[in-house]
Amino acid sequence: MEGSVVGVALCFSSLFLCASASIRFSNVFGDNMVLQREPQKAVVWGYSSPHDEVTVTCGNFRDSVMADDQGEFSIALPATHPGGPYTIMAESKNGGDKAMLENVLFGDVFLCGGQSNMQFTVDSAFNASMEIAAADKYSDIRVMTVGEGTQSATPLSELKTIEQNWTVANSTSIGGGNWTYFSAVCWFFGRDLYDTYHIPIGLISNNWGGTPVQAWSSPDALAKCNQTVEEDTLVDVEIPGTEVAVGANSNLWNAMIVPFLNMRIIGAIWYQGESNVGAGPQKGGAYYACQFTAMIQDWRNKFHIENMYFGFMQLAPWRGGGNTQIAELRTGQEASLKLPMVGMASAVDYGDLTSPFGNIHPRPKQPVSLRLSATARALLYGEKLVYQGPMISSAHVNGNQVVVSFEPSTLGSGLETKPAACPQGLPPQFCMGFELQTSDQMWHPAQGTVQGNTVVVSMSTANAPFESSTASVIGVRYGYDDWPLCTIYNKEGYPAIPFSYSIHG
């Protein structure tokens, strides 16, 4: 029987109403869920009376464990092949009561976190009606949406708000409406993995619009970047009906991530960063480079999964950051790629100026989500495929030109160009997204031409020919703007990653 969203809302509006039985599973579990398959051993836990002997059964597995002083019990299930369904039962020896999880599948479980572009729902994306109707074909994908409304200065053992309990994917559970359920990026990512591997997929949508990275970071992660819980910078987002601002350091980590830490998952995906754009403390690319990287490492430690797969979206075009502030944040995101098993999907060529949700929320979520799933297919599942756009490796001056080279692994089948709409007043030959910086610190639009696996950037610029100037070239950049010109791709269709590169010597 599929979970009732209405019933869940009533149940979790007051947690104690759901805890009247003498034994129950934690509220991160539910009927219709997916537990992590082999080689991991899925862990289930719950609550009974203190020192109660609890017997857990699942298929042919049966084992007992003693609840602790607070009545919490936890047990690891055997590593299990993908499939099901299974019924998991916990039975109390003291009270004789039973708790059940029914219609459970084993497969791969992903946590989908971030702010509003991860919260952005299928119902709001392009081709929503078609996508929602198609969800009826995916009963082996199971989804859960954590509710907004809870933040905490201290770690919580359970979720206080659940918007959508574990539910079989269908047109109702995926098409819940704007800003409710289900996350478009999370859904399209998981759906592509299911279409590719045909194993059950569990998706946990766990996000809150307008929140910064430090809200999702533990005190340990904050300390890596010389931050403390007390040094919070609040974001101008409020819980409806209250005056509590969202965004204090670690408050969403405590309320929305900690309750899942004992759950076995295979990876996480992330779409966040807009709330860290700008200048000031806990803002900007340099801060994000440190804190985002520290957060990933800390999540891996706290989930007890070394080198857990972590995929993220590089920010899409957005009018509102201020010149290059969003470009700087994108660079900060890229710093995390020094970690193993971290994949970045770029959305720099999918701006949406006419989005009714504001241009910060582009509607074409399908193509960027497929780029994200490609990182998982390559890094996590081991497919031999190109999953990244060209990334700069070096640049040097050669006569009156700058030659830009790219990481060989990101070239794919080779470079190609795609036309871009030129800003008013910029000659077409300079509409490639390239700029050169001279020793007077000025940036100038420049020509770019693909030559083999390199791009040659002309030193003859639109407004300051270098041959008539004593200034020398000290830098080159591409797509380094809040709303970048994107013209360079590899032949697999991935856009070149924006960069700003200093040239020495």
Domain-embedded: residue 4: no
Q: Is the pLDDT of residue 166 over 90?
A: yes
Domain-embedded: residue 11: no
Query: CB burial class (10 A; 0-12, 13-18, 19+) of residue 427?
Result: exposed
Domain-embedded: residue 457: yes
For residues 123 and 132, what is the distance between their CA atoms, to the nearest angstrom?
A: 7
Q: Are residues 359 and 210 in the same domain?
A: yes
Q: Are residues 205 and 85 in the same domain?
A: no
Dihedral-angle region of residue 307 (phi above 0 means left; psi in -120 to 50 means alpha; beta otherwise): left
Mean pLDDT of 115-139: 97
Say if strands 61-66 and 443-446 run parallel, antiparallel, or are unpaired. unpaired
Q: Judge whether 222 and 233 are in contact, CB under 8 Å.
A: no
Q: Are residues 343 and 427 in the same domain?
A: no
Domain-embedded: residue 342: yes
Domain-embedded: residue 113: yes
Query: Per the structure, how many domains does the chain have?
Result: 3
- What is the model's pLDDT at position 505? 57
User: Domain boundary residue among 59, 75, 102?
Assistant: 102
Q: Are residues 168 and 248 in the same domain?
A: yes
Domain that holds residue 457: 392-502
Sign (positive or negative) of CA dihedral 410, 416, 418, 424? positive
Domain-embedded: residue 6: no
User: Whole-prediction pTM value?
Assistant: 0.91
Task: Please state which of the ranges 2-16, 162-176, 370-384, 411-425 shows the lowest mean pLDDT.
Answer: 2-16
Mean pLDDT of 287-301: 98
pLDDT, tens digit (0-9, with 9 covering 90-100), for 389-413: 999 999 999 887 899 999 999 999 9
Domain-embedded: residue 478: yes
Q: Are residues 456 and 324 in the same domain?
A: no
Q: Is the pLDDT of residue 15 over 90?
A: no
- CA count, 13 A, side-chain hemisphere, 294: 21
CATH number at residue 71: 2.60.40.10
Q: Are residues 397 and 490 in the same domain?
A: yes
Q: Which amino acid appears at position 258 of this protein?
A: V
For residues 402 and 298, what is the distance between their CA atoms, to the nearest angstrom?
A: 40
Q: Is the pLDDT of residue 320 over 60?
A: yes
CATH number at residue 304: 3.40.50.1110
- What is the model's pLDDT at position 281? 87
Q: Are residues 254 and 113 in the same domain?
A: yes
Query: Residue 113 pairs with which residues in a beta bridge?
Result: 206, 270
Query: CB burial class (10 A; 0-12, 13-18, 19+) of residue 357?
Result: middle
Domain-embedded: residue 429: yes
Give DSSP secondary structure letters for 297-358.
HHHHHHHT-TT-EEEEEEPPP-TTS-TTHHHHHHHHHHGGGGSTTEEEEE-TT---TT-TT-
pLDDT, tens digit (0-9, with 9 covering 90-100), for 407-466: 999 999 999 999 888 877 777 878 899 999 988 899 999 999 999 999 999 976 555 544
pLDDT, tens digit (0-9, with 9 covering 90-100), for 82-120: 999 999 999 999 878 999 999 999 999 999 999 999 999
Q: Are residues 223 and 296 in the same domain?
A: yes
pLDDT band at 346 (very low <50, low <70, confident <90, very high): very high
For residues 65 and 55, what is the distance between their CA atoms, to the nearest angstrom?
A: 6
Q: Are residues 215 and 276 in the same domain?
A: yes
Q: Are residues 238 and 330 in the same domain?
A: yes
Output the average pLDDT for the chain. 90
pLDDT band at 354 (very low <50, low <70, confident <90, very high): very high
User: Domain boundary residue among 102, 135, 161?
Assistant: 102
Q: Are residues 116 and 64 in the same domain?
A: no
User: Domain boundary residue among 102, 120, 136?
Assistant: 102
Strand order across the beta sheet in which 443-446 lies: 443-446, 434-438, 473-478, 499-502
Q: Are residues 91 and 110 in the same domain?
A: no
